[in-house]
């Protein structure tokens, strides 16, 4: 029995050195289960691999959530689509985004409407869904992004700051164009968006209904549909 325990300890050391934390956590339990249910060696190996795969996925999701820097987590099950007719109309169209196929196509979901219509909630829920699929996400308010980039430019770190926003598979910019931008801010915003456009990366924007709309961006021309979710392909 002592020899078995020594061999188990040695196995755990090897698994740790190979950076297989999921296996480390489950090997003792699976050893006991194998003896109880007469599992074959292949059964045990398959289950260990499954546990490691799940462990890595959980770790990847946790990293994506931390990197996204959500000020608050919102999930779509908490959104009341039946609150008013406008929300009911966009339900199917919005939920279709949650399969995340738009990311591969470089489509830019736009959430436009008056304050209180749920734009930020829906954008956060979509970004959270992307994190759950271990996609690289950044969620940021427009003023914060512009201040970050401006500060980085002043201190010679603009390229590094830009990489964070450009490399994200999904960048969500909240409250875009709520306040007027000066030429320097407009230049930085354009740099982020144009580089993401070149790489076919999706940018999700929330903005209040503005008429006439001052943004140089493929927003809907007709502000009467601004409470709907508008997805525009970048190509």
pLDDT in tens, 130-174: 999 999 999 999 999 999 999 999 999 999 999 999 999 999 999
Q: Distance between CA atoms of 11 and 149, rounded to whole angstroms?
A: 48
Residue 123 to residue 74: CA distance in whole angstroms: 9
Q: What is the pLDDT of residue 148?
A: 93
Q: What is the mean pLDDT of residues 44-56?
A: 84
Overall average pLDDT of the 221-225 stretch: 33
User: Higher confidence at residue 168 or residue 181?
Assistant: 168
The CA distance from 173 to 165, in Å, is: 10
Residue 167 vs residue 85, higher pLDDT? 167
Please check the confidence at residue 92 and state whether its pLDDT lies above 70: yes
Domain endpoint, select from 14, 36, 68: 68
Domain span at residue 29 reads 2-68
pLDDT at residue 102 greater than cutoff 90: yes
Q: Residue 190's closest CA among 175, 210, 207, 176? A: 176
User: Domains in the chain: how many in total?
Assistant: 2
Does 37 have pLDDT greater than 70? yes
What pLDDT, on the 0 to 100 scale, is given for residue 40?
Answer: 85
Tell me, yes or no, whether 60 and 95 share the same domain. Answer: no
Mean pLDDT of 191-201: 92
Q: What is the mean pLDDT of the chain?
A: 82
- Please indicate, yes or no, whether residues 91 and 146 belong to a single structural domain of this protein: yes
| Same domain membership, residue 101 and residue 62 | no
pTM of the model: 0.71
Q: Over the chain, what HEC string results?
A: CHHHHHHHHHHHHHHHHCCCHHHHHHHHHHHHHHHHHCCCHHHHHHHHHHHHHHHHHHHHHHHHHHHHCCCCCCCHHHCCHHHCHHHHHHHHHHHHHHHCHHHHHCEEEEEECCCCCCHHHHHHHHHHHHHHCCCCEEEEEHHHHHHHHHHHHHCCCHHHHHHHHHHCCEEEEECCCCCCCCHHHHHHHHHHHHHHHHCCCEEEEEECCCCCCCCCCCCCCCHHHCCCEEEEECC
For residues 30 and 87, state if they share a domain: no
Contact 56, 84 (CB under 8 A): no
Do residues 83 and 61 share a domain? no
**For residue 222, pLDDT beyond 80:** no
Domain co-membership, 202 together with 101 = yes
- Give the model's pLDDT for residue 178: 62
Of 51-60, 187-196, 221-230, the range with the highest mean pLDDT is 187-196
What is the end-to-end Cα distance of the chain in Å, rounded?
66
| pLDDT at residue 235 is higher than 50 | no
Asked which of 20, 40, 68 is the last residue of a domain, the reply is: 68
Mean pLDDT over 20-30 rounds to: 85
Same domain? For 186 and 85 the reply is yes
Tell me, yes or no, whether 86 and 59 share the same domain. no
Structure tokens given for 179:
């306040």
pLDDT value for 211: 47
Question: What's the Cα-to-Cα distance from 20 to each of 26, 48, 58, 196, rounded to whole Å?
Answer: 11, 10, 13, 35
Using CA atoms, how far apart are residues 232 and 220, in angstroms rounded to an integer?
9
Let me know whether 217 and 193 are in one domain. Answer: yes
Average pLDDT over residues 110-117: 84
If you average pLDDT over residues 18-30, what whole number do you get? 85
Instruction: Clarify whether residues 56 and 166 are in a common domain.
Output: no
Among candidate residues 68, 99, 118, the one where a domain is terminated: 68
User: Which of these ranges, 27-41, 151-165, 192-206, has the smallest mean pLDDT?
Assistant: 27-41
* CATH number of the domain enclosing 209: 3.40.50.300
Residue 186, pLDDT > 50, answer yes
194 and 137 together in one domain? yes
* Same domain as 101, residue 11: no
Any idea how long the chain is? 235
| pLDDT band for position 41 (cuts 50, 70, 90) | confident
């Amino acid at each position: 029995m002592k020899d078995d325990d020594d061999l188990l300890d040695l196995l755990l050391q090897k698994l740790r050195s190979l950076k297989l934390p999921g296996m480390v956590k489950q090997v003792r339990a699976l050893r006991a289960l194998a003896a109880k249910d007469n599992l074959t060696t292949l059964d045990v190996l398959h289950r260990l691999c499954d546990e490691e795969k799940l462990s890595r996925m959980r770790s990847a999701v946790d990293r994506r959530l931390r990197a996204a820097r959500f000020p608050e987590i919102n999930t779509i099950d908490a959104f009341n689509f039946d609150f008013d007719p406008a929300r009911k109309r966009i339900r199917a169209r919005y939920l279709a985004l949650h399969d995340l196929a738009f990311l591969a196509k470089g489509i830019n979901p736009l959430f436009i409407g008056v304050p209180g219509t749920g734009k930020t909630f829906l954008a956060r829920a979509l970004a959270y869904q992307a994190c759950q699929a271990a996609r690289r996400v950044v969620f940021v308010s427009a003023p914060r992004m512009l201040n970050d980039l401006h500060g980085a430019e002043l201190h010679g770190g603009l390229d590094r700051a830009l990489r964070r926003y450009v490399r994200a598979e999904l960048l969500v910019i909240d409250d875009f164009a709520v306040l007027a931008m000066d030429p320097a801010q407009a230049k930085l915003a354009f740099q982020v968006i144009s580089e993401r456009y070149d790489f076919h990366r999706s940018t999700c924007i929330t903005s209040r209904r503005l008429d006439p709309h001052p943004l140089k961006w493929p927003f809907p021309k007709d502000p009467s549909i601004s409470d709907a979710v508008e997805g525009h392909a970048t190509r």
